[in-house]
Structure 1
Amino acid sequence: MHHRSEDDGERDCSPQYGTHYAIIVQIYQRYPGDHHIWKKRHERAMAIENRRSMTVEEYFQLEANDPETRYEYIDGHVYAMAGGTANHDTIKSNIQRTLWNLLRGSNCRVYSSDMKVYISETRYFHPDVTVTCDPRDRGRVQAIQSPRLIVEVLSPTTELTDRTWKLKNYCAHPTIEEYVLVDSQSLKIESYHKEQNRWIYEAFENTDDFTLHSFDV
């Protein structure tokens, strides 16, 4: 049995920092000992972000031509994703491995942030961890169309966006049943899971038992 926070309960996925929210974009791809490579990549990413607009097809081609960089596509504009810390990457890998073990033998597949997720006709994100149980999402697909679970590992540069703007987008997705936020500093876990037409919020400390409602594990 898990321990629920006193803040647990029904929520409508409204931003927790008020109604005014924005996309926070920070590019930081530093290559130690090679300032020129970092500068060139930084300038290239900034030039791409400053373009007026880009079609979905152009966005797919951009990622195909630049596999070392992940971009998110938002309403015709692309944003280079910031590189994570070693701690962030370790937590993300541990979550992915744990989910893979839990779901082994099922029809579900676990994907890392290398795989982009279809949010809407004009939006594609790269969540830290994604689980889909739809067989149409297997094979040589360009993006996951029917995710069931999304996990984001919070960091100082992404926390506001993950808690507000992305929360709204994930809750509006027709196939997403659960959205989990993992604090990389305190290891606190928060989840939003869908029950009929309601979204239920729960918070867990690092000593609590955690339940994934979308898989009943």
Structure 2
Amino acid sequence: MPLPNENNIWTYADYVKIHNEKRYEGIDGVLVMVPSPTPRHQRIVTALSALFFDQLQRHQCEVFVAPIDVCLFAAKDTPLHDIKDWYIPDLIVVCDKNKIGDERIYGAPDLIVEILSPSTAKHDRITKFQSYEQSGVNEYWIVDPIHETVEIYALQDGQFRQVQMHYKDETICPYIFPSCFIALPKVFTPM
């Protein structure tokens, strides 16, 4: 549910002034609350982040998990009052150190992972999908914890193309890191 604002347009500068424990994403100047994740969601994010961290040690990349703000269409020198779009992805991989600010990420990460939930699935599959594509994210994973699948989309000629679909018993490689191996049985381990 969006928060009211006197001019109905929120900038990132407005957002950082809010003293609220809730998390919000900005979509073209509209604030949208991000619900707290479930324990199942957090187990998946934790497992994926550990696997990515371990596998990407030989690359010059960093792994971050939510909550971290990603200002997709901004650079470090973009004034905060000019930023009207930001997201809080579940997991990101950033290989360009210049995109890592002291308080947020600027520009498109190399890889983004979103874990679906009933309340966010449409947002992840449509709104975020389009924004991540337009901003130049190289690879986007949609993880479905109910069906225990991972859809991998790669940016090709400016558009996301589904390049892989994987199930819970497979070991998979990110499209942009073919020597990185993610064992899905470790991700979808029942508790």
TM-score (norm. length: structure 2): 0.79
Secondary structure of residue in 2 paired with 1:162: helix
Are positions 1:180 and 2:152 aligned together?
A: no
- Structure 2 counterpart SS, 1:89: helix
Question: Is 1:77 matched with 2:30?
Answer: yes
Amino acid at match of 1:84: P
**Percent of residue pairs bearing the same amino acid type:** 25
Q: Which residue of 2 aligns with 1:200?
A: 161
- Which residues of structure 1 form unaligned runs of 5+? 1-24, 26-45
The separation in 2 between residues aligned to 1:57 and 1:182, in whole angstroms, is: 31
Q: Distance in 2 between matches of 1:73 and 1:198?
A: 22
Aligned residue for 1:192, secondary structure, equals: strand
The one-character-per-residue Cα deviations of 1:171-194 (angstroms, maximum 9, x if unpaired) are 1112x1100011111211101012
What corresponds to 1:134 in structure 2? Answer: 96
Task: Give the 3 Å change call, closer, same or farther, for CA 139–162 of structure 1 in structure 2.
Answer: closer
**Aligned-residue offset at 1:208:** 2.6
Q: CA deviation at 1:200?
A: 2.6
Q: Which runs of 4+ in 1 moved over 4 A?
A: none
Partner of 1:122: 84
> Structure 1 residue 50 and structure 2 residue 12: aligned?
no
Distance in 2 between the 1:76 and 1:186 partners? 33
Higher relative contact order (CA 8 A, sep 6+): 1
Contiguous gaps of at least 5 residues in structure 2: 74-82, 181-191
RMSD: 1.8
Contact 2:71 2:105 in 1 (8 A): yes
Return the alpha-carbon distance in structure 2 between the equivalents of residues 144 and 158 of structure 1: 23
Contact 1:115 1:144 in 2 (8 A): no
Q: Radius of gyration: which is bigger?
A: 1
The one-letter code of the counterpart of 2:4 is: N
Q: TM-score by structure 1 length? A: 0.70
Q: Aligned residue pairs: how many?
A: 167
CA positional deviation for 1:170 = 0.9
What letter corresponds to residue 102 of structure 1 in structure 2? Answer: Q
SS of residue paired to 2:50: helix
Counterpart residue type for residue 14 of structure 2 = E
Whether 1:161 aligns to 2:117 is no
Report the AA paired with residue 59 of structure 1.
Answer: Y
